[in-house]
Amino acid sequence: MSKAGWIRLVVLVAFFGAVEALCRTGAISPKLIIAPSAMLGAMVKLLASGEMGDDIRQTLLSVAIAMGLSIVGGFGLGCVLYWLPPLRRAVDPFLAAYYSLPHFAFYPLLIVIFGLGALPLIVLATLFAMVAMTMATLTGLDRIPRVLIKTARMQRLSLPAEIWHIRLPAAAPHLFSGLKLAVTYSFIGVIAGEFILSTSGLGHQIAFAYDNFDNPTMYGLILFVLCIAIVFNLLVFAYERRLARQRGL
């Protein structure tokens, strides 16, 4: 591990150690924050009891579906906009402002269209995550070096062969960044939606525990959600490293 890596580890351990000590000595009231070790204990207990099983399944399934839809849909939309520059110029300001729009205001409308249940929330998270993939696809396609396109023409490739053998691999690093963002945003979309608007799912359970001053459950669940998000991010990160190594980087 690098020097920076060691220091980072020390900083993180020191931070959590300090919080732990402050909580254990009572300097921080358990009404505010409970000790990290207590959070971990609460999480383990919650998972072992199985009472959150349905919520966990529902949340993870929603996130997975939103991820899949947003990656495929975002990539498709990116390709369409790339091939139709006038359309792209028209939607450009909309895309740029997209992440400051109040997506959650459209939830009632989605309920009317898609009914009650998990579906409107999945659609909401998909809409939220998709545009990140679209923008990354556009960047990736824009940044393909022209000399590679010229090379494809000198190799007398057909358009499908050019797309498959040149354009997609050349755009791959950007596509992957978009994929990472779509994963993150699917998480944020589903959890935030459940938090504010839903009556089930992990996000809702956190909000419910907050409303009932049930700090152990709340912190246990928060820790669990953060752990899932971190594990997901690490998996994607590891895969990205492998891809980079395959390119000799």
Partner 1 sequence: MTAVRTLRGPLLLTASLLVAWQLLHQWAGDTALTAPLPTLEHLWTMIGQKRFVPHVTETGLAFLQALAIAWIAGVGVGVLLGGHRLSGEVAEPILVGLYSLPKITLYPVILLLFGLGMPAKVAFGALHGIIPVVLFTMSAVRNVNRTYLRAGRSMRLTPMQMAWRILIPATLPEIFSGLRIGFSLTLLGTMLGELFASQRGLGFLLMTAIDLNDVATILAIAVLISLFAVVANTILLAIDRRLRRGSAA
Partner 2 sequence: MTIVARLTDVSRIYPPRAGHAAVHALGPLSMELRAGEFFSVVGPSGCGKSTLLDVLAGLAAPSQGTAEFEGKPVNGVVPDGVGVVFQEDASFPWLTVEDNVAFGLRRLGTDAAEIRRRVDFATGFMGLRDFRRAYPSQLSGGMRQRVCIARTLVLQPRLILLDEPFGALDQQTRLLMGDELLRLWRETSATVMLITHALDEANLLSDRIGVMSARPGRFIDVVETGWPRDRDSRLAERPDFGAVTSRLWSLLRTESMLALGQGAVAAQ
The pair of three-digit structure tokens given for residue 192, joined into one six-digit string: 């935030």
Asked if 156 is part of the footprint of partner 2 (rule: CB under 8 A), the reply reads: yes
Which span (19-27, 44-52, 158-166, 200-208) binds partner 2, by CB under 8 A?
Answer: 158-166
The span from the CA of 74 to the CA of 182, in Å, is 9
151's contact among partner 2, partner 1, none, with CB below 5 to 8 A by partner kind, is partner 2
| Distance in Å, CB of 163 to partner 2, minimum | 13
| Distance in Å, CB of 155 to partner 2, minimum | 5
Binding mask 60-99 for partner 1 (x = CB under 8 A): --------------------------x--xxxxxx-xx-x
The span from the CA of 189 to the CA of 129, in Å, is 7
The span from the CA of 213 to the CA of 179, in Å, is 37
The pair of three-digit structure tokens given for residue 194, joined into one six-digit string: 């459940």
DSSP label of 201: S
The count of chain residues that interact with partner 2, using the rule CB under 8 A, is 20
Q: Between 2 and 246, whose beta carbon lies closer to partner 1?
A: 2
The span from the CA of 168 to the CA of 49, in Å, is 47
Q: Between 175 and 190, whose beta carbon lies closer to partner 1?
A: 190
| Distance in Å, CB of 132 to partner 2, minimum | 23
The span from the CA of 136 to the CA of 183, in Å, is 13
Which span (21-29, 82-90, 177-185, 241-249) binds partner 2, by CB under 8 A?
Answer: 241-249
Distances (CA, A) of 115 to 112, 118, 120, 122, 145: 6, 9, 7, 12, 46
Asked if 5 is part of the footprint of partner 2 (rule: CB under 8 A), the reply reads: no
The pair of three-digit structure tokens given for residue 155, joined into one six-digit string: 């190799």
Maximum CA pair distance of the chain? 74
Binding site for partner 2 (CB under 8 A): 145, 147-148, 150-151, 153-157, 161, 165-166, 169-170, 172, 246-249
